[in-house]
Amino acid sequence: MTGVDELAERFGTPLYVYDLDRVAEARDRLFAALPGGFDLFYAVKANPHPEVAGALRDGSGPACRAEISSTGELDAALAAGYAAGECLYTGPGKTDTELAVAIARGVRLFSAESPTDLRRIGAVAERHGAVAECLLRINCTSAGAATGIRMMGRPSQFGLDLESLPALMPELRATRGARLVGAHFFTMSNAGDESDLLAEFERVVELAAGLAVDPGLPLELLDLGGGFAAPYAVPGAPVRYPKLRAELERLLDLHLPRWRTGTPRLACESGRYLVAGCGTLLCGVVNVKRGRGQTYVIVDAGINAIGGLSGLGRLLPMAVCLDGVGATEQASLVGPLCTPGDLLGRDVQVPVLAAGDLVRIPNVGAYGITASLLGFLSRPAPAEVTVRNGAVVSVSRLEPRRVPLSKGAPS
């Protein structure tokens, strides 16, 4: 029995186990792969667990900042120890209410995704007697990199379309309560490989340098975005970026020659790279149904517990592999929910399993519970255990609950 299996004995299944040492290792590895002095924003959406998010901030080396997109993520970041001033608030649908909470708590750095968004940020800041520092998120054409999820380079709800900037710039610069401080690009997640990532960074660095000249976008901070990849729900070692640092330095020297003295400051963002590898989901096998030439392994966690892939519109994951040894067979791995969509893996190779066995799904520290259909079929969320140096740090469970609201005006 391995260490994590003992945790399943102690705390039951389904159970997420997060190894905080691996979170810190991933942070150090990513900082080392980037040029010195870069800021690194942790995308809290990947895993808002306070100790997981906090492990990216604590330690002797450079610390992450937080990229947040809601009041809940702001709460999570603050609970994890981030200061409001270390947060970058992003998202295409920020509301007045959310912005007011963020400004009141001290968030000052925002990514504005449209002129309306910028005006709204500025107006709320002004009402609080503050000035919001705003990056313009830019929807540019892409370098054509292979990626799991492309967010830009085509029509989308994200960012200001590059071609609209020259005409908009006077109005954007004059927005009350908001000071333009730079550009934000987040064009993709989960880049295919290092050369894809580099091609995309080259494209955005060149673009940002051009925008600073014409139409005169202020460029104190340039957030290049991300796309750092990680294996998800399959065994696999962390991705390495051996050329990234030198190549980024070369292209920054070329296009933004004063970057080494902080003009502009530079930043990247990452969720999955930083936390995917820390997490394992332990599931119990409830039943194995064999018949009509098919085997179904029914486990106690389905898309209500590990819905990241379904959340991304891929109800059928390519390969949820099981970290097992010995004889294997082909089976569909399904969850306990009353829908044929509760499918973790169709026709995957699994160890020959029986009711009562334990299944380990590796590399699921990112986009686990909070990217799942948590409320569907009203099952409890899996418990979450954090571990450091092999010792349990905490055990907790997320609990959605119905809260009575006033029948009057919305709160």
Ligand X SMILES: Cc1ncc(COP(=O)(O)O)c(C=O)c1O
Binding of residue 271 to ligand X (CB under 6 A): yes
**Single residue of 67, 86, 117, 300 touching ligand X by CB under 6 A:** 67
Q: Report, in Å, the least distance between residue 272 CB and ligand X.
A: 4
190 binds ligand X (CB under 6 A): yes
For ligand X, the closer CB: 23 or 46: 46
Site string for ligand X, 12-51 (x = CB under 6 A): -------------------------------x--x-----
DSSP labels, 350-381: EE---TT-EEEE-S-SSSSGGGS-TTGGGPPP
* CA distances, 324 to each of 281, 344, 349, 362, 365 (Å): 13, 16, 10, 11, 19
Closest distance of CB 90 from ligand X, Å: 5
Report the residue closest to ligand X, judged by CB. Answer: 271
Q: Does 269 interact with ligand X (rule: CB under 6 A)?
A: yes
Q: Which is nearer to ligand X, 190 or 332 (CB)?
A: 190
Is residue 226 a contact residue for ligand X (CB under 6 A)? yes
Stretch that binds ligand X, among 185-193, 236-244, 248-256, 382-390 (CB under 6 A): 185-193
Looking at the Cβ atoms of 226 and 264, the one nearer to ligand X is 226
Q: What is the smallest separation between the CB atom of 201 and ligand X, expressed in angstroms?
A: 14
411 Cβ contact partners less than 8 Å away, ≥ 6 residues apart: 405
Nearer to ligand X, 152 or 334 (CB): 152
Q: CB under 8 Å, gap of 24 or more: what pairs does 148-156 form?
A: 148/188, 148/189, 148/190, 148/191, 148/229, 149/188, 149/189, 149/190, 149/312, 150/187, 150/188, 151/186, 151/187, 151/188, 151/189, 152/185, 152/186, 152/187, 152/188, 153/187
Member of 13, 47, 175, 189 binding ligand X (CB under 6 A): 189
Measured from the CB atom, the residue of 82 and 383 that comes closer to ligand X is 82
Is residue 272 within the footprint of ligand X (CB under 6 A)? yes
Write the CB contacts of 378 (distance below 8 Å, at least 6 apart in sequence). Answer: none
What are the structure tokens assigned to 42, written together?
């942790």
**Stretch touching ligand X by CB under 6 A, among 78-86, 173-181, 263-271, 318-326:** 263-271
Question: CA 407, CA 265: separation in Å to the nearest integer?
Answer: 49
Find the binder of ligand X among 47, 139, 175, 270 (CB under 6 A): 270
Q: Give the DSSP letter of residue 86.
A: G
Q: How far is CA 190 from CA 82, 151, 210, 227, 373, in A?
A: 25, 11, 27, 5, 22
Say if CB 191 and CB 227 are below 8 A apart: yes
**Cα torsion angle, 4, 363, 67, 58, sign:** positive
Confirm or reject binding of residue 110 to ligand X (CB under 6 A). Answer: no
**H or E, element range at 347:** strand 343-351
**How near is the Cβ of 148 to ligand X at its closest, in Å?**
8
Q: Is 363 in the site for ligand X (CB under 6 A)?
A: no
Count of residues near ligand X by CB under 6 A: 15
- Enumerate binding residues for ligand X (CB under 6 A): 43, 46, 67, 90, 186, 189-190, 226, 228, 269-273, 366
